[in-house]
Chains A and B, each alone.
Chain A
Amino acid sequence: MREFDYRCAHDVPGALALLDGDPEARFLGGGTNLVDLMKTGVERPARLVDVRELPLDRIEPTADGGLRIGATVTNSDLAAHPEVRRRYPALTQAVLAGASGQLRNMATVGGNLLQRTRCGYFADITKPCNKRVPGSGCPAVEGEHHNHAVLGASEHCVATHPSDMGVALAAFDAVVSYATPDGPGELPFGDFYLPVGDTPHRETALPPGALITGVTLPAVPVAARSRYRKVRERASYAFAIGSVAAALDVRDGVVHDVRLAFGAVASRPWRARTAERALTGAPADAGTFAAAADAELAAARPLPHNAYKVTLMRNLVVAELTRLTEEASR
């Protein structure tokens, strides 16, 4: 393990100054992913800038009826917040579906967005990986890929994004705020993660050296009737093999508004806009739900051992939209 400097920042300008744009320096949030990666040699930072002490640990209402979530809010506090539970229940459910109580007490919102894939080739420095060593190849395509991507991947990388929280944020059109030495900036969630293409090592649109300062959720009335469902190989403490964040507003038997996002199927939380378009204005029944899922999954390009994910996601969409329809009619 490489020896590293550790510095603790107390305000945002101080954090940016301590990082100093150094490509060998990293911001440290809860450390629930970065420290693991340092132990395995995937990350070898020369300097860690601890941002846990920054005054970014608040969840506050915004003027237009949304919520602004500070970057250092822990997963536990986010999930427990009364306004999050009331207005975005799928977000609470998603966060609580992830990791363990101990990890959620440490992990931060900003760090969650920047966590790395759990692909076993990425995690093993003795094996090739285009995400870790650009140009070295992607052994998953021909090798082990039971839990790899079926949507939006490329021949260069088929890794999935592991976040549960991010799936709900994708469904609810979150906006990521960041700070740089040149001033603040914002990225809509849909633009935050970059397409895989032939540059799987470039994961986000954040400028180099930028610090995530928070996530803003707009007012999304339909989100009050939302669910997150995670399918995993064991009952707890496992990453998803497929997940869905769904919000549904049915009026007179017709879909008035819908939000749908998938987890564990792509390099990023996958907003299912094709399915949303197919659902909006259509009758709220199982046939519509299945057809909408099929429309979204028509773009799936499964590998030999992960084709089950297409069936799984279709079943999940139908099950969760059906459940939301039933709940609304009660």
Chain B
Amino acid sequence: MTTAPTARQGAVGTAHTRVEGRDKVTGAARYAAEIPFPGLAHGWLVLSTVARGRIRALDTAPVLAMPGVRTVLHHGNAPQVATDYPGLMGGKPDPTAAVFQHDRVPHPGWPVALVVAETPEQAREAAEALVVHYEQEPHDVVFTADHPRARPTGGFGPAVTEKGDLEAELAASAAVVDAEYTTPEEYHNPMEPHGATARWEDGRLEVVDSNQGTMWVAGELANLFSLDPSAVRVRSEHVGGGFGSKGVRAHQVAAVMAATVLRRPVRVVMTRRQMFSLAGYRSPTAQRIRLGADADGRLRALEHRSLSLTSTVHEFNESASAPSRVMYDADAHHTVNSVVRLDVGTPTWMRAPGEAPGSFALESALDELAEKLGVDPIDLRLRNEPERGPVSGLPFAGRNLSACFREGARRFGWADRDPRPGVRRDGRWLLGTGTAAASFPAGAGPSTAAVTAEADGSFTVRINAADIGTGARTALTLVAADALDVVPDRVRVRIGDSDFGPAMIAGGSTGTRSWSWAIRLAAAELRERLAPDVRVPPEGVTVRSDTTAALGALTQRERHSYGAQFAEVAVDPATGEVRVRRMLGVFAAGRIVNPLTARGQLTGGMVWGISMALHEEGVRDRATGGHYGADLASYHVAAHADVPAVEAHWVDDHDPDDPVGIKGIGEVGIVGAAAAVANAVWHATGVRHRHLPIRPDRVLLAGAPDA
């Protein structure tokens, strides 16, 4: 083998079907809750039906007498766990997963018991028969923009950023936009429900799970149960979607407790309805944006205030002002992220946390400003391209937003657009087009990898990556093949096993970038070790890497993916129906490893943006505090018929400082998508919709355009 360049074409950048695709479509690939275990028992979670209070008693005796029931775990008998350790992000972890530790009920759907039986049907029947007596207390679940308990709070970044005199700049502006925008509770709903099986094997805890990072879950379980980290192994081979919801949750902890008590393997799977209570969600947001600009569109003032909610037991901040801290500068630039604690479950990361709802407000407000100034919405954005990070002051490491807009405008046919609203008709439909900008941070986390040259000439990569449906396993195969200068068929990538050592989770659009880095480091060193005449021993030659030092040496820059979103919609003003006719996104997202799966990631995000704009809305019943319609018949996402033509393209995007060149593509696809749709609805009808989703009743009752 030689390190000299060869004529062989690289695998990265060419389309490859998933390496496990055949297994998945034939059913050979097994998901966490499908893997058989001898002696398996099944646990079923019982959730609180009251929003706030105390558990007075549980009538366990009749349930224990039911067929197949082996135990009922609750706060009176469950093993104790620790909750005061530093979690993934450094702070205390969300205690929602630390089940059955006390009698308090802090929100509806709080886990109060686990019924374990021989079959899932027996466990479910018994769980539904368990009578729990509560001492109910009054609850507050109503999220309002002016909630008296709202407080500025840091989350991803500081609570408040401030420069310049906002009121003075607004007063001096030729045009001002001052508007409030809201987004509702939104739920991840991956197709594969959360499920885990726990068992003890030779003094070691083994968990087969569906998650976004096995080290993350293993670390949390080791901390919770006060175990040595080496005594916990978590595997997660195939994952049917995560979107931020698949970390440590009540089901894994309950399964470990039951496996410990019963000394046999125990599986706990959530129902779709339980996922609404236990798997996290995106907080609703109430955002106020004030923009002031000169007549030519240059921003003098930008204020973005965002309020989101969290539970009473853990702080999570949706941080929706995040895009304003990156996208546009102004002489006076103020951003605030506030949080109010309510008697609801803890929200969590959900595809493009912060940026998804934040870009809806910011990019809608930009469109309103363009309307007021009589400036083209794309021109307005290009006239406000900042030289440096508006808050950080750091230079941008490649900011290809303008290239995205130019290419998108060309492909979409933007130049022919008549800016006047409400003037295009096709039968009963009013037609309109809209655009919006997108960005998402391009980060990376420390990762380790092991690359082995096998005696048969093949290579095995072991890295604790997670393929949550993104195609990460395939992307890493291509990256490894190029790094080893072999064809992808000779590389086998093994992922999803905490025994492989620490690696970044699949989250924050950092996975492929972080893991590729580690693989490339190990592969480069392996190739040096394998001189042309070196004979590979039967056990192979293995090289391990750790990217911690390399990451630390990276120049500080504003690093982001960018995108330009375009949408065409049809609105029937007589019925309020809104349908997207076509959508187009052009992205600058670094080096694209596998165009086939990358396109799916980007269009998937855009389709989710359609859902966010028009359909998704978690509804809370005020009286009980619980959910209304917690199923996929009521909680709507776009169906096939709602997604007629969605295209994603990309432009060359190169960061000279970055040895990997890969940015994330998991989240930028949804950013700005809802704003593009909402801006198109304005262009179709002349009516601004500042509250998502843009439901038929809202369109119908909005009637005539704003004065």
Contact = CB atoms under 8 A, between A and B. Distances in A.
Contacts of A237: 639, 641
A330 interface: no
Interface in A1-51: 1-3, 40-41
Interface string B108-127: 00000000000001001100
Given A234-B614, A312-B700, A120 B574 contact: no
A308 B628 contact: no
A254 interface: no
Contact of B696 (A1, A231, A236): A231
Interface residues of B, number: 38
A143 interface: yes
A126 B49 contact: yes
A126 B626 contact: yes
B578 to A, nearest CB: 9
B270 to A, nearest CB: 14
Given A118-B634, A236-B639, A312-B700, A143 B628 contact: yes
A118 B624 CA distance: 19
B575 A315 contact: yes
A143 B623 contact: yes
Nearest to A323: B428
B579 A311 contact: no
A242 B49 CA distance: 32
Contact of B636 (A234, A242, A319): A234
A159 to B, nearest CB: 13
B633 interface: yes
B576 A235 contact: no
Contact of B621 (A139, A235, A318): A139
A43 B407 CA distance: 55
Interface residues of A, number: 38
Contacts of A41: 128
B550 to A, nearest CB: 46
B622 interface: yes
A234 B641 contact: yes
Contacts of A239: 633
A154 B697 CA distance: 22
A256 interface: no
Given A142-B623, A236-B641, A316 B696 contact: no
A234 B642 contact: yes
Contact of B576 (A1, A306, A308): A308
B629 A144 contact: yes
Contacts of B579: 235
Interface in A277-295: none
B623 A234 contact: no
A24 to B, nearest CB: 15
A233 B636 contact: yes
A305 B125 CA distance: 36
Interface in B292-313: none
Contacts of A3: 121, 125
A247 to B, nearest CB: 20
A191 interface: no
Interface string B589-633: 000000000000000000000000011000101111011111101
B577 A118 contact: no
Nearest to B619: A144
Nearest to B622: A143
A319 B628 contact: no
A295 B230 CA distance: 75
A315 B574 contact: yes
- Centre residue among A3, A125, A234 by max chain B CB count within 10 A: A234
A121 interface: yes
Contact of A146 (B124, B428, B638, B697): B697
Contact of A124 (B630, B639, B640, B641): B630
B273 interface: yes
Given A3-B121, A139-B624, A144-B629, A233 B575 contact: no
Given A126-B49, A308-B576, A312-B576, A233 B695 contact: yes
B423 interface: no
A223 interface: no
Nearest to A137: B623
A238 B639 contact: yes
A123 interface: yes
Nearest to B700: A308
Given A3-B121, A236-B639, A144 B628 contact: yes
A139 B634 contact: no
B701 interface: yes
A303 to B, nearest CB: 12
B696 A238 contact: no
A176 B272 CA distance: 36
A127 B626 contact: yes
A283 to B, nearest CB: 21
A6 to B, nearest CB: 14
Nearest to A309: B697
B629 A120 contact: yes
A120 B576 contact: no
B582 to A, nearest CB: 14
A319 B121 contact: no
Nearest to B572: A231
A318 B573 CA distance: 13
A236 B626 contact: no
A231 B49 contact: no
- Centre residue among A232, A235, A237, A319 by max chain B CB count within 10 A: A235
A1 B633 CA distance: 20
A93 B607 CA distance: 28
A232 B633 CA distance: 13
B639 A235 contact: yes
Contact of B623 (A2, A120, A139): A139
Contacts of B575: 231, 242, 312, 315-316
A265 interface: no
A27 to B, nearest CB: 22
A91 interface: no
Contact of B273 (A40, A236, A316): A40
A1 B639 contact: no
Nearest to A100: B639
B631 A123 contact: yes
A241 B634 CA distance: 12
B700 A234 contact: no
Contacts of B628: 120-121, 124, 143-144
B503 to A, nearest CB: 38
Nearest to A139: B623
Contacts of B701: 308, 311
Given A120-B629, A233-B615, A315-B574, A127 B273 contact: no
Contacts of B626: 124, 126-127
Contacts of A118: 633-634
A41 to B, nearest CB: 6
Contacts of A312: 575-576, 696-697, 700
Contacts of B577: 231-232
Nearest to B695: A233
Given A120-B629, A143-B628, A236-B640, 20 more contacts: A3-B121, A118-B633, A123-B629, A127-B621, A144-B621, A144-B629, A231-B575, A231-B576, A231-B577, A233-B636, A233-B695, A234-B638, A234-B641, A235-B641, A235-B642, A237-B641, A241-B697, A305-B697, A308-B700, A319-B428
13 contacts: A2-B125, A120-B634, A121-B621, A126-B624, A233-B615, A234-B638, A234-B641, A234-B642, A236-B640, A305-B697, A308-B701, A311-B700, A315-B575
